[in-house]
Structure 1
């Protein structure tokens, strides 16, 4: 069977599957129940959305068929976009019980009494479905947390993955150009959002797994997007945070734009935020630990009196993700994180300051690639504070 929709070569997928199986053997697991769509995509190419229901890929430690349990609307997509060998279907009905169907798959594979890993740290497994699985597997096999098996493999990107991330970076930069062309006093901020999304899609990218954050006025201190359009004032601050997305791979950018010219307080804060981010970027060196990046973040902002106005973490890993988030976590960038940086890892460090009392805010962020000697900043844009 040919797979024209595969994002990577079949050989690359086979290597990924082999490495995941080596991890299962090393941990004494007979199989892994993959509920993260990111795991499905990484291991087999399966690009779908059925993870919002009950959907599970069974990866075995031994070379046995890759089996997917899903709903009927996902079958054709799974066949066309993946290397999955066998697809089982559960049907919507009052008495439907996909957890017991999953037990049946494991029984057919000979895992009664076995030790089976399960991905728990994922949006693809709700608490209700996890409880149903626990009940179904009670007395049949032993379930153990295997959430980090595939996600740890996904941290270091292949050259093909990095090609996709670079394309995503170009899309993010092009979208910023469009945002700068659109942002003006009197313009509704939703038009800036539309410019970002339209540029990305027209450039051959995907819809981002999360909506662009386009916050202005008193909303600029928020760390999340907010519903409802808002016209930009004659003097305003617009903070953008979004991902350029290509073949599900994300490259994030965060920038601040002054409408009508910055106040002296905004200009001073921008300088602090910029210098902090620039020093943080120098800390992405192979062999160093991820937590040192946040050490810089905390030291600089706390010394300037913003300990209560900064985030407790200053970024996260990026890769290929699905809704609701482009954050490919863990890992988060927080002080004390012992993860040792390796070439091929991709992160989004950002500095966001928001004072709820004065409503003074500023945010900047870049996606960086850890290289053999340091890091590569993925954006072509400067960290200036443009005025519109």
Structure 2
């Protein structure tokens, strides 16, 4: 995408951008986002609210393409039942917002201003009488959200949580294309990490090889750092690299998600330095059978719970129930730190009744742990198709012996 041939004049009180700058860094064409906004508006009409207020970076990105590393500063998107949405961002973020979005109206708040006061004044200017609020977003603190609700006390407020997440669960062809590219980057990173594993190298050496290969293949910033741990540390969930040097007899846990245009795909594999203990190999074999059972059960029309129950049955039959105790998978797609997944949207877990549909994407990490000793298993990111699933990696799943 081309940057503008003429830069905005920084001396002007309001930045003006040439037409070829608007949307010049957008991850998808304008029509993709217009379709998403139309779907939000249709859902709003069914909900009955005049407009929806979004504050979560993932939902704002999904609806508009707005992305930045500066999402720590307050931002909000107002989507009315009809007409143009309005985005509110920090003044410093205006250039990036114009480049990444096709929106016609973007308002700003300046450092030193109260962004909540600016938001409330903007909503008043729009003449809204009823507003659905995204109450379950992780980004806005309870104190800040309390101030927003207090400032909107004259409006009829309703809960709009989950409205956009429900739409995000099924990916468009453009989204699936980005996820497939991310899966290619993740596999490149995993191949390099596996090749780096041997006695005498450090976890940092492995992390450097993994990150270099994934980024060299094309990955952008990842929503969470890779998980690399060895020896007893490999039995600690979500441990990251800490300079430990690998020794003979160590287990090694490797997991990463790479990113293309903010869309992620994840991959996990296990390594042993030398011959693995019999227990580790039995647990690895069980984890692989559980993963196969989950994947084999996935097709349109079955519930999200089905895959988990298939994997859980294998694990229970082998006697490793206590070594699992988690869901078998979660949805994955557009993500911002601190999480590469969309686990708050859909889990492959008991009691989740939503049916699988073509275009849904899941990461299934089948891990068994001897807590504080080792973790074994493997994972796949898969797309639900019309007839079953499409795994996004062909990397062997077995325990790699170094």
* TM-score, structure 2 as length reference: 0.91
What is the aligned length? 381
What CA deviation, in whole Å up to 9, does each residue of 1:258-290 have, x standing for no partner?
A: 112211111111111101101100121100000
Picking from 88, 103, 106, the partner of 1:84 is 103
Is the CA contact 1:345–1:369 (under 8 Å) kept in the aligned structure 2?
Answer: yes
How well do the aligned residues superpose, as a CA RMSD in angstroms? 1.5
Picking from 207, 230, 234, the partner of 2:244 is 230
CA distance in 1, matches of 2:26, 2:127: 30
CA distance in 2, matches of 1:13, 1:356: 45
Q: Do residues 343 (structure 1) and 358 (structure 2) align?
A: yes
Is the CA contact 1:221–1:353 (under 8 Å) kept in the aligned structure 2?
Answer: no
Picking from 369, 379, 390, the partner of 1:376 is 390
Q: Do residues 67 (structure 1) and 86 (structure 2) align?
A: yes
| Residue matched to 2:370 | 355
Is the CA contact 2:207–2:241 (under 8 Å) kept in the aligned structure 1?
Answer: no
SS at match of 1:308: helix
The Cα of 1:299 is off from its aligned counterpart by 1.6
| Residue matched to 1:123 | 138
| Residue matched to 2:8 | none
CA distance in 2, matches of 1:311, 1:74: 42
| Residue matched to 1:15 | 35
What CA deviation, in whole Å up to 9, does each residue of 1:61-109 have, x standing for no partner?
A: 111x32122212211100111022222222333xx42222211111111
| Residue matched to 1:267 | 281
What CA deviation, in whole Å up to 9, does each residue of 1:211-255 have, x standing for no partner?
A: 000111111122212462211111211111110211111111111
The Cα of 1:341 is off from its aligned counterpart by 0.4
| Residue matched to 1:245 | 259
What CA deviation, in whole Å up to 9, does each residue of 1:98-124 have, x standing for no partner?
A: 22221111111111xx22112222232
Is the CA contact 1:169–1:379 (under 8 Å) kept in the aligned structure 2?
Answer: yes
Is the CA contact 1:214–1:239 (under 8 Å) kept in the aligned structure 2?
Answer: yes
**Residues 47-56 or 195-204, more deviating:** 47-56
| Residue matched to 2:3 | none
The Cα of 1:360 is off from its aligned counterpart by 4.2
Q: Which consecutive aligned stretches of 4+ in structure 1 deviate over 3 angstroms post-superposition?
A: none
SS at match of 1:51: coil
Q: How does 1:317-328 map to 2 (within 5 A)?
A: 317-328=331-342
CA distance in 1, matches of 2:245, 2:42: 55
Change (3 A) 1:160 1:286: same
Is the CA contact 1:37–1:49 (under 8 Å) kept in the aligned structure 2?
Answer: no
Is the CA contact 1:212–1:243 (under 8 Å) kept in the aligned structure 2?
Answer: yes
| Residue matched to 1:188 | 202
Is the CA contact 1:7–1:247 (under 8 Å) kept in the aligned structure 2?
Answer: yes
Structure 1 spans left out of the alignment, 5+ residues: none
